[in-house]
C-alpha cells in the first residue's frame, strides 16, 4: 500500500488514527502492530510471515545475548542472529544475481529462481540487526514485550522505505510516549509536504524520464536533462516518502531521525553523503566502517574500509552490477577527496564546488538508473558527446519547454531557499500571515495531490525496488 494512494489516505490512515486515539494508552502499541501487519499483508500476504519471523528471531536472540553477556555464548548468539538476517536478505535479494553471475563466469545454464523481493526487506533486516548488535554492545537492554518489539520492527510509517529507525531512536517512546496537539499538527504538515514532493514533483520527473526512453531524436542536451530529471525524481521521491514517514511518526508520538538535509547544496561528495539518506550512511558508519577501524588505521586500510563500505552500500541498493559500480564510483571519489580533491576545493569559489558536486551526482544517478550495462555505457557516452549525437534537437527543445516550469520548481525546492524565507517571515512583524497561509497551503497540497491520484497519473515509488 503506497502512502500516495487513495486507499491509504482516505481509508486506512483515518481508521487507524481513529482507533489509535480512542483506545487506552496501554493498547496503542498493539493497535499499531495490528495495523502495521495489515498494512504489510495488503501488499505482501505471504512475506508477512517473514517479517514476523524476523521480529521474533531477534527478540529471542537479544534476550539470550543479554543473558549470556561477556561470554562466548553471547558472541555465538549474535553471529546466529546476523546469519539469519543476512541469510534472509541474501537469499531473497541476491540469489538470482549470484546464479546469473556463476552462469556467466563458468558458462553454465543454472535456472534462476525468480523469487519476488519482499517489500522493505533491506530496511527491516538492517533495523533488526542493529537491535541485536546494540544489545550485544550493551548500548540498550533487550525489549521485554514482544508487542513492543513487533511494533518497533513492523511500524508501518517506516516499514517499507525508511528512514532506518534504530531501536535506540525510539526505545523510550515504545514504552512511554505522549501525543501532543503540536506533534499531530506538525506531523500532518510534514506528511502533506512529503506527499506533495512525491506526487507533484517526483511523479512528473518520472514521467519525463519514462518519456525520454521512448522519444526518437535524442541529443546531448536531452541526455543531460534526463540526468537532471532522474536525480530530482529520486530525491523528491525518497525525501518525500521520508517526510511522510516522519510526519506519520509524529502523529503517533514518535520522533524519527531525519533522512535528508538538502544534499544538492553540498560543497563536496563527502558533504553530500552527510546529507543524503543519512540513516543509511549512519548505519554503515556505526556497524561496518568503525568496526573495521574507520580512519584510525593505516592509510591503506583506511581506503580499504571506504571501498568495503561503498561496495556494500551499492549492493544494498540492488542485486545488479550497476549498483555495485555506483557504490564503488562513490568510494573512489571519496578516497580521491581525502587524497587531494578536498584541498583543491578549499581554493576555489563555492559555486565551482557545487558544480563539481552536481556533476558527480548526475553521473552517479545515470549509473544508478541504468537497466543494463549497454544502456549505462550508451547513456554516459551520449552525455559526453562520444556517440555522434547532435548537441540539441527540435524534440529536445519541445520537451524542455513542456517541463521547464516543473524543473525550475524542483530545482528551487531542492534548496533551503523557501524555508529560509518562511522562517524570516515567521520571525518578522508579518508572522501572523504565516498562521493564515500555512493551513491554506497544506489544504491546497492535499486537494491537488488527491485530484492527481484520482486521475490515475504516473505514481511509482522507486525505493520499493530496494
The residues, any chain, with a CB within 8 Å of residue 180's CB and separated by 6 or more, are: none
Q: Which grid cell sits at 258?
A: 531525519
- CA–CA gap between residue 17 and residue 27 (Å, rounded): 13
Taking a C-beta distance cutoff of 8 angstroms, is the pair 449, 196 a contact? yes
For 179, phi and psi rounded to 5 degrees? -110, 110
How far apart CA 159 and CA 119 sit, in angstroms, is: 9
How far, in Å, CA of 367 to CA of 227, rounded?
10
| Residue 102, preceding peptide bond in cis (omega within 30° of 0) | no
Cell of 103: 552462469
Provide the grid cell at 336.
Answer: 580521491
Distances (CA, A) of 92 to 36, 50, 97, 108, 401: 22, 11, 10, 21, 43
Q: Enter the DSSP assignment of 459.
A: -
Spatial contact of 51 and 128, defined as CB atoms under 8 Å apart: no
Rounded to the nearest 5°, which phi and psi values hold at 193? Answer: -65, -45
User: Distance (Å, rounded) from C-alpha 166 to C-alpha 128?
Assistant: 8
Could you tell me the CA-to-CA distances from 337 to 51, 173, 299, 344 in Å, in that order? 40, 40, 14, 9
Cα–Cα distances (Å) from 348 to 221, 303, 351, in that order, read: 27, 25, 8
Exactly one of 61, 277, 317, 354 is catalytic; name it: 317
Contact 167, 123 (CB under 8 A): no
Which burial class, exposed, middle or buried, applies to 158 when counting CB atoms under 10 A from its CB (0-12, 13-18, 19+)?
Answer: buried
With a CB cutoff of 8 Å and minimum separation 6, the contacts of 378 are: 387
Task: Annotate 378-408 with b (16+ C-beta within 10 A) or e (fewer).
Answer: ebbebbeeeeebeeebeebeebeeebeebbe
Say whether 61 is catalytic: no
Nearest-CA neighbor of 404 among 168, 228, 188? 228
C-alpha span between 198 and 228 (Å, rounded):
16
C-alpha cell at 125: 533486516
Residue that has been written with the C-alpha cell 499538527 in this structure = 185
Distances (CA, A) of 64 to 128, 176, 268: 15, 25, 44
**Positions marked catalytic:** 317
Amino acid at each position: 500500500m503506497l502512502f500516495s494512494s487513495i486507499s491509504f489516505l482516505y481509508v486506512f490512515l483515518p481508521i487507524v488514527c481513529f482507533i489509535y486515539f480512542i483506545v487506552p494508552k496501554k493498547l496503542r502499541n498493539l493497535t499499531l502492530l495490528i495495523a502495521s501487519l495489515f498494512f504489510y499483508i495488503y501488499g505482501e500476504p505471504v512475506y508477512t510471515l517473514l517479517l514476523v519471523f524476523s521480529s521474533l528471531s531477534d527478540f529471542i536472540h537479544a534476550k539470550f545475548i543479554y543473558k549470556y553477556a561477556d561470554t562466548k555464548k553471547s558472541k555465538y548468539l549474535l553471529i546466529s542472529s546476523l546469519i539469519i538476517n543476512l541469510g534472509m536478505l541474501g537469499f531473497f535479494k541476491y540469489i538470482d544475481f549470484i546464479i546469473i553471475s556463476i552462469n556467466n563466469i563458468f558458462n553454465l545454464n543454472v535456472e534462476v529462481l525468480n523469487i519476488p523481493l519482499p517489500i522493505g526487506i533491506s530496511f527491516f533486516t538492517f533495523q533488526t540487526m542493529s537491535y541485536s548488535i546494540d544489545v550485544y554492545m550493551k548500548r540498550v537492554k533487550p525489549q521485554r514485550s514482544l508487542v513492543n518489539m513487533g511494533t518497533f520492527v513492523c511500524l508501518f510509517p517506516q516499514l517499507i522505505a525508511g528512514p532506518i529507525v534504530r531501536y535506540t531512536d525510539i526505545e523510550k517512546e515504545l514504552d512511554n510516549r505522549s501525543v501532543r496537539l503540536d506533534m499531530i499538527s506538525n506531523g500532518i504538515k510534514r506528511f502533506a509536504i512529503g506527499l506533495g514532493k512525491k506526487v507533484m514533483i517526483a511523479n512528473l520527473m518520472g514521467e519525463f524520464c519514462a518519456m525520454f526512453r521512448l522519444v526518437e531524436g535524442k541529443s546531448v542536451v536531452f541526455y543531460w536533462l534526463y540526468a537532471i530529471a532522474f536525480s530530482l525524481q529520486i530525491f523528491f521521491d525518497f525525501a518525500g516518502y521520508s517526510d511522510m514517514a516522519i510526519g506519520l511518526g509524529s502523529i503517533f508520538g514518535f520522533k524519527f531521525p531525519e533522512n535528508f538535509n538538502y544534499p544538492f547544496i553540498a560543497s563536496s561528495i563527502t558533504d553530500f553523503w552527510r546529507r543524503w539518506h543519512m540513516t543509511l550512511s549512519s548505519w554503515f558508519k556505526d556497524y561496518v566502517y568503525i568496526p573495521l577501524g574507520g580512519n584510525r588505521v593505516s592509510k591503506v586500510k583506511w581506503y580499504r574500509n571506504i571501498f568495503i563500505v561503498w561496495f556494500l552500500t551499492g549492493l544494498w541498493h540492488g542485486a545488479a552490477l550497476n549498483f555495485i559500480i555506483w557504490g564503488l564510483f562513490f568510494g573512489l571519489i571519496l578516497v580521491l577527496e581525502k587524497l587531494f580533491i578536498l584541498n583543491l576545493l578549499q581554493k576555489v569559489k563555492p559555486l565551482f564546488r557545487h558544480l563539481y558536486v552536481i556533476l558527480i551526482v548526475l553521473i552517479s544517478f545515470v549509473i544508478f538508473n541504468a537497466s543494463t550495462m549497454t544502456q549505462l555505457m550508451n547513456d554516459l557516452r551520449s552525455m559526453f558527446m562520444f556517440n555522434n549525437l547532435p548537441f540539441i534537437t527540435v524534440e529536445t527543445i519541445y520537451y524542455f519547454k513542456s517541463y521547464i516550469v516543473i524543473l525550475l520548481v524542483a530545482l528551487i525546492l531542492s534548496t533551503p531557499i523557501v524555508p529560509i524565507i518562511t522562517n524570516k517571515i515567521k520571525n518578522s512583524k508579518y508572522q501572523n500571515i504565516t498562521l493564515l497561509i500555512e493551513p491554506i497551503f497544506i489544504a491546497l497540497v492535499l486537494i491537488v495531490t488527491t485530484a492527481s491520484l484520482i486521475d490515475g497519473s504516473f505514481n511509482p515509488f522507486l525505493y520499493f525496488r530496494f
